[in-house]
Structure 1
Amino acid sequence: MKFSAGVLLFRRTSGIEVLLGHMGGPLWARKDLGAWSIPKGEYDPESETARVAARREFTEELGLPVPEGEWIALGEVRYGSGGGKKELTVWAIEANLDTAQVNPGTFEMQWPPRSGRMQQFPEIDRAEWFDTSVAHDKLGAGQRPYLDRLTDQLAAP
């Protein structure tokens, strides 16, 4: 099992909007629905806590520190199958972030496949604010439960 942690920023406009990142690299370049993600990444639970990893990964993916605010625990979700099982832990923070300031980190992969040539690509190629109904379609299925959990948390007295 792989462990990931992330931070879901939200802001209140006429409703609730969340900040998502479009996954970078050539495999996602022409995809939209299901190609967006909560800023997150993997960590080793033996050497780092989920919250520390969430903060680090947010900064790596967006090139910006996590904004100040209350960390609202949204819990864990397990998804994937076979050797690709993941446990994702997410916190929400109410904050505004100017997407024009995003300066994503990069990763390296062989591209084109079997070419022997390594290239660098951005972790995310853009970040945008979406209302929760649009975000539901943009996110991969494994991350969608966090939208309901956020909405439930904000509606609680």
Structure 2
Amino acid sequence: MAQVSAGLLLHRRPPDGGPQVLLARMGGPFWARRERAWTVPKGLVEAGEDPHAAALREFAEELGVAPPASAAPDVALGHVTQSGGKVVHAWARAADLDVAALRWRDDDGRWLVSTALVEWPPRSGRTLEVPEVDQARWLGLDEARALVVAAQAELLDRLAVLLT
């Protein structure tokens, strides 16, 4: 059975340019040198959980802050299926977020965002705790399409249609 994730895609239109989206870079050594390592902030939908509620929960867990409020309701972008079979549902929200203010670790070095244990190096038997995402950035739609996990580019295309 395929894994199901849900995410929240923030978008804004700065006064001096076209639309931008907030993407997160997947954390850990596996993604460190990969170009298409950016994603909609998302995570697994728990059994019996409403996917939209999961998207909001996962945004907070992965970025360490609650999703910013919006005057308009979130808009469903539908779902895409990634190459590994994972189904990703996404919602768009018009809102701004100061990414420079995001904190990934506390003063003692403990993670403030959700983490995962990974075996690193592969087949070594050693585990490493890494953040699920290690940075977030506002990107124009064209730049975002070039960096996002390939299947998620369709979500950006759907957003672009909604914004025109």
Using structure 1 for the length normalisation, give the TM-score: 0.90
Which consecutive unaligned segments of at least 5 residues does structure 2 have?
A: 105-112
1:64-143 map, 5 Å: 64-69=65-70, 70-80=73-83, 84-102=84-102, 103=104, 104-143=113-152
Match 2:160 to one of 126, 151, 155: 151
Match 1:42 to one of 41, 44, 47: 44
Classify the secondary structure of the residue corresponding to 1:144.
helix
- 2-side partners of 1:111 and 1:85: how far apart? 24
Aligned to 2:33: 30
Deviations, residues 55-94 of structure 1 (Å, cap 9, x unaligned): 11111110110111121111112232xxx31221100111
- 2-side partners of 1:111 and 1:41: how far apart? 22
Classify 1:117/1:79 alpha carbon distance in 2 versus 1 (closer, same or farther; 3 Å): closer
Considering fraction of residues, name the structure with more strand.
1
Which consecutive unaligned segments of at least 5 residues does structure 1 have?
A: none
Compute the displacement of 1:99 (Å): 1.0
Between the two proteins, the alignment pairs up a number of residues equal to: 150
Using structure 2 for the length normalisation, give the TM-score: 0.86
Percent identical among aligned pairs is 45
How well do the aligned residues superpose, as a CA RMSD in angstroms?
Answer: 1.3
